[in-house]
Amino acid sequence: MRDFFQQTDRIYFDEAPYKKTDFATDHDKENIEVFRTEAGLNNTISKEQVFHNLRLTTKEAYFKNGAVLFFAKKTGTLF
């Protein structure tokens, strides 16, 4: 079923969950701080809330591929 939706462009790469990450640790704190500064956000908003508001996490608290693209720890790797 999933393959069918992917083939018909109903599921986009950035929306798919990336289940090999740990929400609590697998992100680059510096990338988040740069994002906060550029977006005009203050530090009272938690990083979890930032990810949620950007719709970069699933209901099960997995990162989506889009989060990996924005906030990966190392350039060229998926966490």
- Where are the extended beta strands (E) located within the chain? 17-18, 63-64
Q: Is residue 59 included in any domain, yes or no?
A: yes
Q: Give the number of domains in the chain.
A: 1
pTM of the model: 0.67
Is position 31 within any domain?
yes
Q: What is the pLDDT of residues 28-59, one digit of tens each?
A: 888 888 889 999 998 888 888 888 899 998 88
With a cut of 70, say whether residue 10 has pLDDT above it: no
Domain membership of residue 65 as a residue range: 2-71
pLDDT in tens, 53-79: 999 988 888 888 888 888 877 654 444
CB contact at 8 A, 79 and 68: yes
Assigned domain for 52 exists: yes
In a domain, 79, yes or no: no
Q: Does a structural domain hold residue 77?
A: no
Instruction: Report how far residue 73's alpha carbon sits from residue 17's, in angstroms, rounded to the nearest whole number.
Output: 17
Report the C-alpha gap between 68 and 58 in whole angstroms.
13
At 25 the pLDDT is: 72
Residue 78 lies in a domain: no
